Amino acid sequence: MNSYRLEQSKNRKQVFDNFLQIEQKVGANSDKLAFLDKGIDQSRYQNISQNYPQYLSRKPLQYSPYPPLGKIPYIDQEGLNFLHPQITEACISLGRFEAGELKTIWLGKNPLKTAQFWSTTKIIAPLYILSQIDQKFPQCNITNLQLKDSENPNVNLSMELAIEDMITYHEKIASSNGLATLFKRFETRYNLEAWVQKITGNNSLKFQGDYGEDPTIKNPTIFDPETKKIILKSVLNSPQGDNFVSAYDLTRIISLIGWYNYLPTQCQLPNLQQTSLNCLIKAMGKDTARYVDVALETLGIEQVITSTVIISKMGYGDSQIRQTLEACYMAFVQFIDPLPNANQKPTQFRTLALTLRGGIPINNMEDFNRIALELDARMAAEVTEIIRRVVAEELDQLY
């Protein structure tokens, strides 16, 4: 912005005299005035007038209270235009505190478009299980629970370690896909899908699929060794469908996890205690994807910020139907940023939830490795730009 010209324009007589000189310079007359008859052809706005209806639907980015369960918030769909075209879907919720209350803005790029987000959705079923356990057995210690096989008493797995193994892919217990499918066995596909829809408010999502492998335990139960009781049993299986959710759905879910302590009751995940949620939070802190780590390192702030929280879940796969290699990343990030102090501003509390889905077409399988490297680097670069804009306080500004 040219502050000098803004200041000079306060001189209204000079502005008028300048315009009058232009009238004379261009040879204007009563039949063709310099400004009234200027026309659109030479206007810098000639080519954007077609966008006016879209621009008129935009609202100023105003922080508002976190939405109640089941209500889709207003999502600004212009604020993420800086993302590379290879990022096809995205949703970010940026939070800040006003008078002790968490308020948020939501930004998106095709945020409500349902698509395959691969393994990012694996956390949903364990989250549902934790809520069911807390509703029915609120005194239960989640860390002690065991996964058992109703047909083989010798099978005995720690549920806490199974959740961690599903996220870390360490396969100390079983494969991630097998464990993810196991966790979907404790509710009918229809009811689990309906639960997610009720949480996010998006009735277009589908969540009736598995993860490409049979469950680690075909008919599992959840057993409490302290009370010697089975607290959850598997249900009758049914034909699987698809897992098609949106970037908004995943951002909403991980924001509910990360901001649980800050939300009023009507906005919180139902029937869930923080102590139980901590089991999932600690596991998600060990996600294999470290895009936020490298973003903080690239920006040179990893040694400066404090109280850092990074919980996430990655997804990755090549679609033969779409002939595309795809990467997905859902994350919740929070840290205390002392950098504003350099400009005599108070230390800032940065907190946000994000989901990205990127894809690159595979035209030749011989290019698969090159495409994989490019996509991984692209995801890292876009996460870095998002964090940069958060720290620079640009993400919540209209441009």
DSSP 220-277: EEEEETTTTEEEEE---------EEE-HHHHHHHHHHHHTGGGS-GGGSPTT--HHHH
- pLDDT value for 1: 47
Task: Show the 3-state SS of 166-183.
Answer: HHHCCCCCCCHHHHHHHH
In this predicted structure, what is the pLDDT of residue 74?
Answer: 95
Q: CB of 384 within 8 A of CB of 298?
A: yes
CA 299 to CA 301: how far, in whole Å?
A: 6
Instruction: Provide the pLDDT confidence category of residue 6 given band limits of 50, 70 and 90.
Output: confident
Region 165-178: mean pLDDT is: 96
Mean pLDDT value across the chain: 93
Distance CA 344, CA 132 (A): 48
CA distance 385 to 295: 8
Classified as helix, coil or strand, 315 is: strand
pLDDT in tens, 117-140: 999 999 999 999 999 999 999 999
Distance between CA atoms of 188 and 175, rounded to whole angstroms? 22
In the chain the domains, ranked by start, together with CATH numbers, are 3-44 (no CATH), 61-391 (3.40.710.10)
pLDDT digits (tens, 9 = 90+) for 188-222: 999 999 999 999 999 999 999 999 999 999 999 99
For residue 159, what are its two tokens?
């549920």
- Alpha-carbon distance of 166 to 181, in angstroms, equals 10
CA 146 to chain centre: 31
pLDDT at 342: 52
Name the range with the highest mean pLDDT among 1-10, 231-240, 250-259.
250-259
pLDDT of residue 344: 63
Q: From CA 267, how far away is CA 261, in angstroms rounded?
A: 11
Residue 151: which pLDDT band, with cuts at 50, 70 and 90?
confident
The answer to whether the beta carbons of residues 302 and 180 sit under 8 Å apart is no
Q: Residue 134 — φ and ψ, nearest 5°? A: -65, -30
